[in-house]
Structure 1
Amino acid sequence: MAERKPIESWLTDMDGVLIHEGTPIPGADEFLKRLRESGKPFLVLTNNSIYTPRDLHARLSRMGLVVPEENIWTSALATAKFLDDQRPGGTAYVIGEAGLTTALHDIGYILSDVEPDYVVLGETRTYSFEALTKAIRLIDAGARFIATNPDEVGPSAEGALPATGSVAALITKATGKDPYFVGKPNPLMMRAGLNAIGAHSETSAMIGDRMDTDVLAGLEAGMETFLVLTGLTQPDDVERHPFLPSRVVNSIADLVDLI
């Protein structure tokens, strides 16, 4: 593998890397402390669009993990940035929670179910048949279909939960229209995040626990990639993919000394 420039900026996934089912992963607090003290630009990323950065800052703080709001980048923020670039001041029918609706309000979007420019599908724990039916009819009528992320399932203490990708598949089956997914592994989310902190891909690294989203997104964005084994991916899973991370480590604790 070609020698890379020293790492000056860090991007890291949240679930499976820093926390697992609401509990900090050993080494996460020290890793974040080193980042803050180093002054290097960094972002904590999540494909989950439910929470605002302020919400996530508070949730992480209660676990003893200090991440400033400005260092949190969600698929909801990336989706809002994409829509603002594509069609400023547009309208959208949204299925999602405060993280997504707040991000769209902040860019000046109007949320409406009357001839919206877009149907935007995000994460929620209360998908309703009524809302999905309305989304399908609006897409049939010409609304463009956007989804925050392609994750098919999400973690919970009780087991897997259907996530945005699964619900998007239902809408696609009903309409024949595929969504444009903004979140990982779309490198758009990574590049927008890098731009937000003034970082460059050739001197940045991405840490994640999933090959199909975190590592792939980092790879396609031109970053160095680290896979941790504290989340969904097990060692035997790595070789099943046609691409590899720059390095596989047991946990975030193994990367503290690289900062």
Structure 2
Amino acid sequence: MAAPARTLNDVECWLTDMDGVLVHESHPLPGAAELIDWWRETGKRFLVLTNNSIYTPRDLRARLLQSGFDVPEESIFTSALATAEFLKRQHPGGRAFVIGEAGLTTALHEAGFILTDSEPDYVVLGETRTYSFEAITKAIRLIQAGARFIATNPDATGPSKEGDLPATGAVASLITTATKREPYVVGKPNPMMFRAALNRIDAHSETTAMIGDRMDTDIVAGMEAGLQTVLVYTGITSESDVDVFPFSPDYSFDGVEDLVKRLRDEDGTDGSGEGGSEESAS
């Protein structure tokens, strides 16, 4: 017999992207604080995921506090943390040459790695607002000498007030062109990051959902990890973009504000909820 279809009522644990779902350029999106409050009220386990490897969870908690809501450090999971966990399993006590900022270097230090430019086991590329040509050149030469190439995420650009900035994926492509070596990318859309997140909150894929704003990272990775997927149209993917993909989210909403209304309505905690613009995938 076929298994019964899963619904939002079945969700016990939640994963959510940060930028484009909860905040946009440090401004809170409608319903974000209410969503965090609802998870706490109902005792749901949750993690806020981000491919951004610049900041530590403590930094990100402070930034979210400035946006108007409190997310504990232990409820924030970055691609830097996922990368550090992966490398700790692969090569405990290893050596790495790192291009990145505090979020990545702190995670690797705490995982027991030695950061060095002398005979490293790995070159680890993360995000920084000040990519150094000298550091990129050093990374290329170390990879050519045998160091294995790791990238925290595949994002080609990052946002700024002035417009897009080159990000990890763009610099990884430059290094790949010079070395003919492709990096192993740990962050979204690699389902490994989702499995690490599930382990962190002792969650099971059958009863966990992922909220994201990108079909090509959040939704595809959530789907491949066996999660229910919820797409919101407050970030990268618009409603008109969905049909170009060969897969669909399980649910879609204009934003998390409508998701919260739907959840409260189904839970019976707010009889006035209307449920937003949800559409269930067949």
User: TM-score normalized by structure 1?
Assistant: 0.98
Q: Structure 1: which 5+ residue stretches go unaligned? A: none
Name the counterpart of 1:80.
84
Offset at residue 2 of structure 1 (A): 6.2
Name the counterpart of 1:136.
140
- CA distance in structure 2 between the partners assigned to 1:128 and 1:251 by the alignment: 38
- CA distance in structure 2 between the partners assigned to 1:37 and 1:96 by the alignment: 37
Post-superposition CA distance 1:188-237 (Å, at most 9, x none) = 00000010000011100000000111001100100000110000111111
- CA distance in structure 2 between the partners assigned to 1:117 and 1:84 by the alignment: 12
**Between 239-248 and 66-75, the greater mean CA deviation after superposition:** 239-248
**In structure 1, what residue type is equivalent to 2:60?**
L
Runs of 4+ with >3 A deviation: none
Q: Structure 2: which 5+ residue stretches go unaligned? A: 265-282
Q: Which runs of structure 2 are paired with 1:93-132 in the superposition (5 Å)?
A: 93-132=97-136
Name the counterpart of 1:258.
263
Aligned sequence identity (%)? 68
Asked if residue 67 in structure 1 is aligned to residue 59 in structure 2, the reply is no
Question: Residue 181 of structure 1: which of 171, 185, 199 is its match?
Answer: 185
Name the counterpart of 2:273.
none
- CA distance in structure 1 between the partners assigned to 2:40 and 2:177 by the alignment: 45
Post-superposition CA distance 1:97-141 (Å, at most 9, x none) = 000000000011000111100000000000010000000000000
- CA distance in structure 1 between the partners assigned to 2:104 and 2:194 by the alignment: 18
**In structure 1, what residue type is equivalent to 2:35?**
F
- CA distance in structure 2 between the partners assigned to 1:89 and 1:164 by the alignment: 25
User: TM-score normalized by structure 2?
Assistant: 0.90
Question: Residue 202 of structure 2: which of 191, 198, 205 is its match?
Answer: 198
Larger radius of gyration: 2
Higher RCO (CA 8 Å, separation ≥ 6 residues): 1
Residues matched between the structures, number:
259
**In structure 2, what residue type is equivalent to 1:120?**
V
- CA distance in structure 1 between the partners assigned to 2:236 and 2:188 by the alignment: 15
Question: Residue 25 of structure 2: which of 21, 24, 28 is its match?
Answer: 21
Asked if residue 208 in structure 1 is aligned to residue 216 in structure 2, the reply is no
